[in-house]
Structure 1
Amino acid sequence: MDDVELPLVYTWREARAAGARRRQITADGRRVSTGLYLSSAADDDVAVRCRAWTRLLPPDAAFGLGTAAVLLGVRSDPPAEVEVVLRPRPVLPQRRGLAVHVRDLRGDDVVDVRGLRVTSGAQTFLDLATRLTPAELVATGDALLRAGHLDAASLERRLARADRVRGVVRARECAPLLSARAMSRPESLLRYWLVTSDLPDPEVQVPVLDRRGRVVAHGDLGYAQYRVAVEYEGRQHAEPEQFGRDVDRYSLMAADGWLVLRFAGRHLAGPAVVVERTRRALLSRGWRPGS
């Protein structure tokens, strides 16, 4: 008997009903959970696995928390289990590989992402406030804003009705610190550390002007009054073309009197080095505490 053609996602029952033998299912399928399979021909990523789970979940289920952050494109570290959010009900799904969270979701707390029900940017931000540090929560919020999944008004509305919800205190503290202009997670972390220190708040994407008032460069973060810029150097800055552009940019900034502080991945473990070096730079340019 020849093997039958199986879809990319199927259940054991569906495959057997279509005439597939046990041997074929065992050889072809990658088990997602008991009775649920992905074909070996399917990409094994978060979105594909979520589509598989929709075969077994209630229609009102929405993918949330860490899984939502990956589907929304704002984090790249998927949780070990697919995370699902459901409204309260007498019996919740219990399956290996699935983490179920109960939330009182409303219509605008769920959005469609490539055919999948996913918690909105505001709901995801609130949910992640229970597990992320304030700095990482701000970085995630910045990414949600940058990707168009969040805006100040929708976040304000969601947090306004979140009294006594776990994480709401942290979410409300971090919400005013968000900025869509931060271009990456490292930049967001640097900005959070500076904003929550006793230093002045830095500008985001601060313009650098030449003597004629023309914009010749932008700093990731900076203090135009003191001509101090704070830059994060990711791996992409090592590419020859980008390196050349950086040389031009830093030369132009230096020529017009800017002091540029450059930080890298080794400095993301904590705020001490970033804050202290920025403090020294500002002091050298005339800033004084309390000014």
Structure 2
Amino acid sequence: MQLPPTFTLATARAAGLSRSVLRGGGYVRISHDLVVRLDDAIDARERLGVLVSVLPADAAYSHTTAAHLLGAHLDLPARAHVALTPRRVLPQRADLVVHARRLDPTDVVDLAGLRVTSGAQTFLDLSAVLPPAELVAVGDALLRAGHLTADELAARLARAGRVRGVVRARCCAPVLTEQAMSRPESLMRYWLVDSHLPDPEVQVPAHDRFGAVVARSDLGHRRWRLRMEYEGRQHADEAQFGRDVDRYSLMAAAGDLVLRFAARHLTARTVVSRTEQALRSQGWRPDPR
């Protein structure tokens, strides 16, 4: 019996293939009853494509699975999240997390052949499970990747009614920006906006004496000549390190104070307290009212 590229365990048994044979080379078990015959290795994205064959036609990948596929920083979960139209009995599989959702056509997009919840729907779904700072980081990433716009999000939240998490989504939506370049930048910005300190600007330019933009900082306060930078692992690269030295030198030469953060400093308390100390040193004082 000639097996197709994708088959069930029942089909394999009918073809005379034992479990020990399937555990050997050439086969990958995609789910508890779905097997793929391979010539090459299969990656996580391809696995989701194969899983579609056992899902109802109205299924769409959702939540953290959708966020990953749409370009957010979230890792693919071990069990794929899927949204299905509510029915009397939702199909359950050990390898899936199934969510009942009534989705409009605009709430689903085709992403290289996969049905995936839209950026706005994904943001709304995750608002029920992510803390505000992480939700903002996901929203920034979706904006930056071109899978979300302010108008699309506003339209989706306007018809969300009393969906779980919608209050958090509406509070976080005005904070989003496509200019944030990474999750740590988004987290830092949210903590500062949520604090008693003045809201920071994003991607603040630095100019030379001729007025040309020569550098940009992740966050900053031009009024108080303060800039905040997050140093990720990529900054350890020798070439990047040299570029960073140039940028910081140009900012300092213009009279700005540069406050630098690394992964060990990435907590709300540390970011807010150090930024407040730096702002005070630059002349900022809280409004007495």
| Same fold, TM-score > 0.5, yes or no | yes
Question: 126, 131, 134: which one pairs with 1:133?
Answer: 131
Instruction: From the superposition, tell whether residues 133 and 150 of structure 1 become closer, same or farther in structure 2 (CA, over 3 Å).
Output: same
1:15: how far off? 4.6
SS in 2 for 1:279: helix
The letter for the 2-side match of 1:253 is M
Decide whether aligned partners of structure 1 residues 226 and 143 sit closer, same or farther in structure 2, where only a CA change above 3 A counts: same
Give the match for residue 111 of structure 2: 113
Structure 2 distance, partners of 1:159, 1:81, is 27
CA contact (8 A) 2:64 2:74 kept: no
Question: 1:75 Cα deviation (Å)?
Answer: 2.6
Q: Residue 209 of structure 1: CA displacement?
A: 1.8
What is the one-letter code of the residue matched to 1:282? Answer: L
Greater Cα shift, 69-78 or 190-199: 69-78
Please, what is the CA RMSD of the aligned residues?
A: 1.9
**Cα deviation code 1:188-228 (max 9, x no counterpart):** 01101111111111110001123332212101000111110
Which residue, out of 32, 44, 47, partners 1:46?
44
Contact kept in structure 1, 2:73 and 2:183, CA below 8 Å:
no
2:62–2:83: 8 Å Cα contact kept in structure 1? Answer: yes
1:15-67 Cα distance to aligned partner (Å, 9 max, x none): 567x4633543434332323201335454433222112211110110000011
Gaps of 5+ in 2: none
The answer for the alignment partner of 2:281 in structure 1 is: 284
User: Is 1:57 aligned with 2:65?
Assistant: no
Structure 2 CA distance for partners of 1:115 and 1:14, relative to 1, 3 Å: farther
- The TM-score, its normalising length taken from structure 1, stands at 0.92
**Length, aligned pairs only:** 286
Deviations 1:113-166 (A, max 9, x none): 110000000000000011111000000000000000000000001001111101
Residue 21 in structure 1 maps to residue 17 in structure 2:
yes
Q: What does residue 174 of structure 1 align with?
A: 172
CA contact (8 A) 1:46 1:67 kept: no
Structure 2 vs 1, CA of residues 124 and 166 (structure 1 numbering), >3 Å: closer, same or farther?
Answer: same
Distance of 2:284 and 2:278 partners within structure 1 = 9
Identity %: 59
Q: Distance in 2 between matches of 1:113 and 1:266?
A: 36
Partner residue of 2:238 out of 228, 237, 240: 240
Question: Secondary structure in 2 aligned to 1:208?
Answer: strand
What residue in structure 2 maps to residue 144 of structure 1?
142
Q: Name the amino acid aligned to 1:104.
A: R
- The one of 186, 189, 192 equivalent to 2:187 is 189
**Superposed structure 1 runs of 4+ greater than 6 Å apart:** none
Give the structure-2-normalised TM-score: 0.93
